[in-house]
Amino acid sequence: MRTVYYAAVSADGFIATTDGGVAWLDPFQSPELGYEEFLASVGAVVLGRATFETALSFGAWPYAGKRGLVVTSHTLELPPDVRGVSVAELPAAMRELRVESRGDIWIVGGGQTVRACLDAGLVDEIELYVVPRLLGTGIPLVAPREALTKLERRDTRTFGNGVTMLRFGVGRL
């Protein structure tokens, strides 16, 4: 089991437009990227509030049957098996997920949630799908942080649609 930040990112480091939009990814959707296989390996998801709200805007909860955490300071109506936690509660809640979940834990996003997970030493791998687009501005892959994080390359692949997958182990300095 691993805790992985799995994300599509523009070549200039953004996971969404400034308003949270991800339509720029549509031309790059392809079964060869392996999303369905990845999702089948996931037992739990971790999302920030904005990412959670974006996921709901697409229709039905896309992670039905998976345990989940939403990092938020707001009161939210949450799907079954999903609970809200504060940033301070996140490390303990993720340790519980590791014990209770069957499968990987996917840090879905966004950048602030990933930063909190990295700061707490909760990320095992980062798997990025670099899309050949420059957004110029938007929501960054990881919110700004002071800490230096060592990454160890584990795999690299290029797909026919121009997307490049980069997988890194997250080391401790």
The CATH class of the 3-140 domain is alpha beta
pLDDT band of residue 173 (cuts 50, 70, 90) is: low
Contact assessment for residue 151 and residue 126, using Cβ atoms and an 8 Å cutoff: yes
Q: What is the pLDDT of residue 104?
A: 96
pTM of the model: 0.93
Average pLDDT score over residue span 89-97: 95
Contacts of 26 (CB under 8 A, 6+ apart): none
Domain ranges of the chain: 3-140
User: Is residue 37 predicted with pLDDT exceeding 60?
Assistant: yes
* Percentage, residues of the chain above pLDDT 70: 99
Average pLDDT score over residue span 91-118: 93
Q: What is the pLDDT of residue 27?
A: 96
